[in-house]
Amino acid sequence: MSKVVASAITGALSLTSAGGLMMIQVLDRDTVTFSVDGVSQQAKVKPGTVRQALAQQGITVGPHDDVQPSLDSQIHDGQVITVNYGRRVAVTIDGKKVVRWTTAKNVSEVLDQLNQSDPDNLVSVSRSLDISRAGVSFSMQTAKDVTVTAGGKTQKVTAVGTVADALKAAKISFDSQDVSNPGLGTPLADGMKITLTMVDQKSQKRRVAVPFSTKKVEDSSLAKGKTKITTKGVKGTNEETWTVVYKDGKKVSEKKVSTKVVKAPVAEVVKVGTKKVTPPSTSSRSKGASTASSSKAGSTSNPVTSGTTCVASTYGEGDGTAGHPTASGETFDPSGLTAASRTLPLGSRIRVTNVNNGRTVSVRINDRGPYVGGRCLDLSTAAMNAIAPGQGLVTVRYS
């Protein structure tokens, strides 16, 4: 064997020895699959524990992370190591804050873990939102079963939020005038009973009569005690605007808010006499008294033999008519020779005869009456005494 060949063999042995050691070191590895938050990757690691294998790959875990198998487990070739990092989740449920550590990857999984997956619940973020390792905070309002009564009808609804949300869920329209018990902004609670009173305000126009006033004006040309209407009073008309309040369709109140004059009333003007009447002189009174006395005595001469025959009555003393205005405007004096007729002209004079004794008296028509069937004249006290002293009814003939 040549030296050259020997040297080659010696070199080959040396290389084999050295290479064999290197190959042993390389072959002393396990193939492990690392699944970190669902992402898988294979790697060659030295034999040992799961903790050591993770450290070789630079994977750190904390107390809230989930590692399978456990950190102290021995690994083997073909091992699968699963790491799910923990996330801090802060959820405010109906105003109450809950903090949890979870390996859930999205909000929907968190809701499942909290038994709050009801689709009627209102969540402030998307249920499909992925949760990063930094964690997440969100709020949620749970659905409540409540009873709503409005307009006399009651129904059960499931709603989230406030009383206003429950009314909307019940498809009940309402406005700022309506009254809710509890109030619209009250948070819902299971079993809550809600009552809505429907309040309506309506405007109404009303026409009303306005009474006229009376204005009295003194008149020196008119005898004292006498009155005369110069302008007849006329009622006016106002238009009033009222606000009427109804609760659940029933009227509960009304209030007048404005008044507009449609037609103003016309005041009645009454003249009041102030003229003093001068009493007649003594001689005149004596003459008048003598004349009246003779007239009141009546006369049996020249009686009325043709004309209208009827029953005449009397009025004046003791019946409250004395001193009051007559139809002609003058004050009634029972001692005067006057009479009332329904048809004879005011101011006309007639002769009246008592058909039983023939006594006759001349009278002036200054009033209207009588208004009793079968009677044609109402004689003053003096006129009746002239033909039938002390009587109240007498058959007469007049022309």
pTM of the predicted protein model: 0.46
Site of tokens 């429907």: 198
| Inter-CA distances, 388 with 91, 309, 351, Å | 119, 16, 14
Binned at pLDDT 50, 70 and 90, residue 286 comes out as: very low
Given this model, what pLDDT does residue 8 score? 37
Phi, psi of 328 (to 5 degrees): -85, -10
**Above pLDDT 90, what percent of the chain?**
72
Return the minimum-mean-pLDDT range out of 10-14, 244-248, 366-370: 10-14
Site of tokens 């001068």: 278
Domain 292-398: give its CATH architecture.
Answer: Beta Barrel (2.40)
Q: Quick count: other Cβ atoms within 10 Å of Cβ 203?
A: 10
CA dihedral in degrees (75, 79, 80, 81; nearest 10)? 10
Given this model, what pLDDT does residue 14 score? 40
Site of tokens 């909000």: 107
Nearest to 233 by CA among 194, 264, 266: 266
Residue 116 near residue 140, CB atoms below 8 Å: yes
Q: In what order do the strands lie in the sheet with 214-223?
A: 214-223, 268-275, 227-231
Where in the sequence of the chain do the CATH 2.20.230.10 domains occur? Answer: 202-273
Q: What is the pLDDT of residues 116-148, one digit of tens each?
A: 988 989 999 999 999 999 999 999 999 999 999
- CATH domain 144-197 topology: Ubiquitin-like (UB roll) (3.10.20)
Where in the sequence of the chain do the CATH 3.10.20.90 domains occur? Answer: 144-197
Rg (CA), the chain: 62
Where in the sequence of the chain do the CATH 3.10.20.30 domains occur? Answer: 3-84, 87-141
Given this model, what pLDDT does residue 68 score? 96
Return the minimum-mean-pLDDT range out of 9-18, 22-31, 270-279: 9-18
Q: What CATH number is given for 3-84 in this structure?
A: 3.10.20.30
CA neighbours closer than 13 Å in the CB half-sphere of residue 133: 9
- Per the CATH hierarchy, to which homologous superfamily does domain 87-141 belong? Beta-grasp domain (3.10.20.30)
Q: In what order do the strands lie in the sheet with 66-68?
A: 39-45, 30-36, 79-84, 66-68
**Above pLDDT 70, what percent of the chain?**
88
Mean pLDDT score of the chain, rounded to an integer?
A: 87
Farthest-apart Cα atoms in the chain, separation: 213
Where in the sequence of the chain do the CATH 2.40.40.10 domains occur? Answer: 292-398
> Is residue 16 scored above 70 in pLDDT?
no
Q: What is the pLDDT of residues 229-243, one digit of tens each?
A: 999 999 999 999 999
The secondary structure element, H or E, covering residue 43 is strand 39-45
Both structure tokens of 40: 């898988």
> Is residue 110 scored above 90 in pLDDT?
yes
Going by their DSSP bridges, the two strands 236-247 and 199-210 should be labelled as antiparallel
Binned at pLDDT 50, 70 and 90, residue 371 comes out as: confident
Q: Which CATH number fits domain 202-273: 1.10.287.70, 3.40.718.10, 2.40.30.10, 2.20.230.10?
A: 2.20.230.10
Q: Tell me the average pLDDT across 81-85.
A: 96
Q: What is the pLDDT of residues 170-217, one digit of tens each?
A: 999 999 899 999 999 999 999 999 999 999 999 999 999 999 999 999
> Is residue 67 scored above 60 in pLDDT?
yes
